[in-house]
């Protein structure tokens, strides 16, 4: 079990040991890493931060893993690096839910799924010291640039930036060299391909950016159908992306959607109510692989309604996806491919009513609730596995209830330093 601090200021952990909270640490960034294999990637990100004089005292790492993984080694790594952090396997998460009185909502975070990143969001919500979150996948490495510093500057950005739109209401985040490589990322609807792209410049006000999506070199983030079309049976794609494929940063125009991949993503705390990573893999319809994609669709609709934006481009990461069967990925994706073609259209119809609060997080919760009810109360018999959309809507409503429960309980723990 991870250590935690209650409001009395003492730190309790497994084995009943206590230690004082580290007084010189002020973590405001929660770095969430879902991992079962390459957790050592954390070393590269810390090395990058220190090489660029980024204050690592701001960082608190949450490694979300499984009971069959070596959590002791993960904790030892954080100790060795001298950074704050916590490690949660399945048993640890169950205990955390019980301690916070939300066991009835444990089903919202599927086991052994990339959507376990939602646990990191719950952890953030229960710790009000965190102003920012960062998602990092364990098969990535940072490039030489200032990874954390660039994400933070993106979130604080104000000024002119390229704006991208298309006649299909979808922006391909790889559009800058699409005529050369022909790539569309995982989750991009097939019906929106062959789009006409237009760009201009827009002035973004300070505070408008609520998420910073860093893109990726090496193995592109494609779905299995596109990987097969690229002639690769090991889940990686033959066509690769390089630094030269990303000339400039951009935002998608209002009313245009884009794929949001959680392998390299920073965000403000306020969006958590509308950023639930959708329940994939562990469901009766066998729908998987769209957790971050669909959460990005919901977030973009909320951003458009609330006057916020998602920043895209740098910092880049190197995506070193391990070889695996492309057909395994296809099996996990095919049950939801048709739904992915239509989910955004359903969301685009939603018009939330007037907001009842000036609190930013309440605004995201209100828009998310409107989208959740559209799905939970709808009938989608015309789609294969359409009932899964209702399932998703019900889980979205449960997500908001769960956050309310955590909020009602107050901030019950504070991140602490790893043992020296």
For residue range 157-211, list pLDDT tens digits in order: 999 999 999 999 999 999 999 999 999 999 999 999 999 999 999 999 999 999 9
Residue 220 confidence (pLDDT) = 95
Query: Rounded distance, CA 42 to CA 84, Å?
Result: 12
Structure tokens at 366: 């209100």
Residue 26 confidence (pLDDT) = 82
Band (pLDDT 50/70/90 cuts) for residue 71 is very high
Flag whether pLDDT at 268 surpasses 90: yes
Residue 413 confidence (pLDDT) = 57
Q: What is the mean pLDDT of the chain?
A: 90
Structure tokens at 30: 């929660």
From the list 91, 86, 61, 67, the residue with the least C-alpha distance to 5 is 86
Mean of pLDDT values over 69-93:
96
Residue 359 confidence (pLDDT) = 85
CB 204, CB 254: distance < 8 Å: no
Band (pLDDT 50/70/90 cuts) for residue 249 is very high
Strands 250-252 and 18-20: unpaired
Residue 419 confidence (pLDDT) = 41
Residue 2 confidence (pLDDT) = 34
Sign for the pseudo-dihedral over CA of 314, 318, 321, 326: positive
Band (pLDDT 50/70/90 cuts) for residue 410 is low
State the Cα angle at 72 between 33 and 35, rounded to 5°. Answer: 20
Residue 130 confidence (pLDDT) = 98
Per the model's pLDDT, the better-predicted residue between 23 and 123 turns out to be 123
Structure tokens at 81: 């690096």
3-state secondary structure at position 89: coil
Mean of pLDDT values over 252-278:
97
Residue 193 confidence (pLDDT) = 97
From the list 219, 214, 235, the residue with the least C-alpha distance to 333 is 235
Mean of pLDDT values over 109-113:
88
Flag whether pLDDT at 12 surpasses 50: no
Residue 354 confidence (pLDDT) = 78
Query: Rounded distance, CA 416 to CA 37, Å?
Result: 25
CA atoms within 13 A on the CB side of 353: 4
């Amino acid at each position: 079990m991870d250590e935690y601090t209650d409001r009395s200021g003492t730190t309790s952990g497994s084995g009943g040991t206590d230690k004082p909270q580290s007084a010189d640490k002020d973590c405001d960034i929660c770095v969430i890493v879902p991992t079962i294999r390459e957790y050592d990637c954390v070393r590269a990100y810390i090395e990058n931060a220190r090489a660029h004089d980024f204050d690592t005292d701001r960082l608190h790492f949450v490694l979300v893993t499984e009971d069959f993984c070596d959590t002791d080694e993960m904790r030892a790594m954080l100790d060795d690096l001298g950074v704050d952090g916590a490690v949660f396997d399945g048993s640890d998460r169950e205990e955390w839910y019980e301690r916070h009185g939300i066991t009835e909502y444990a089903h919202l975070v599927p086991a052994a799924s990339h959507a376990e990143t939602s646990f990191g969001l719950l952890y953030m919500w229960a710790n009000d010291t965190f102003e920012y979150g960062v998602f990092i996948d364990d098969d990535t490495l940072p490039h030489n640039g200032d990874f954390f510093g660039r994400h933070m500057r993106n979130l604080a950005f104000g000024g002119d930036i390229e704006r991208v739109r298309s006649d299909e209401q979808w922006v391909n985040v790889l559009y800058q060299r699409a005529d050369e490589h022909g790539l569309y990322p995982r989750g991009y609807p097939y019906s929106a391909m062959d789009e006409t792209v237009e760009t201009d410049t827009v002035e973004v006000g300070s505070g408008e950016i609520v998420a910073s999506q860093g893109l990726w070199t090496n193995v592109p983030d494609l779905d299995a159908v596109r990987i097969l079309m690229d002639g690769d049976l090991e889940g990686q794609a033959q066509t690769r992306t390089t630094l030269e494929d990303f000339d400039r940063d951009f935002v998608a125009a209002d009313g245009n959607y884009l794929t949001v991949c959680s392998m390299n993503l920073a965000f403000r705390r306020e969006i958590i109510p509308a950023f639930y990573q959708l329940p994939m893999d562990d469901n009766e319809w066998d729908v998987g692989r769209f957790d971050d994609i669909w959460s990005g669709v919901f977030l973009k609709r909320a951003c458009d309604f609330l006057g916020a934006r998602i920043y895209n481009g740098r910092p880049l990461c190197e995506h070193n996806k391990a070889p695996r069967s492309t057909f395994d990925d296809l099996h996990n994706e095919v049950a939801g491919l048709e739904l992915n073609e239509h989910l955004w259209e359903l969301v685009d119809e939603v018009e939330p009513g007037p907001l009842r609060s000036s609190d930013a997080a309440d605004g995201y919760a209100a828009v998310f609730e409107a989208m959740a009810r559209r799905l939970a109360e709808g009938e989608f018999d015309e789609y294969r596995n359409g009932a899964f959309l209702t399932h998703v809507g019900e889980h979205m409503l449960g997500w908001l209830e769960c956050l309310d429960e955590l909020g009602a309980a107050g901030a019950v723990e504070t991140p602490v330093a790893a043992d020296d």
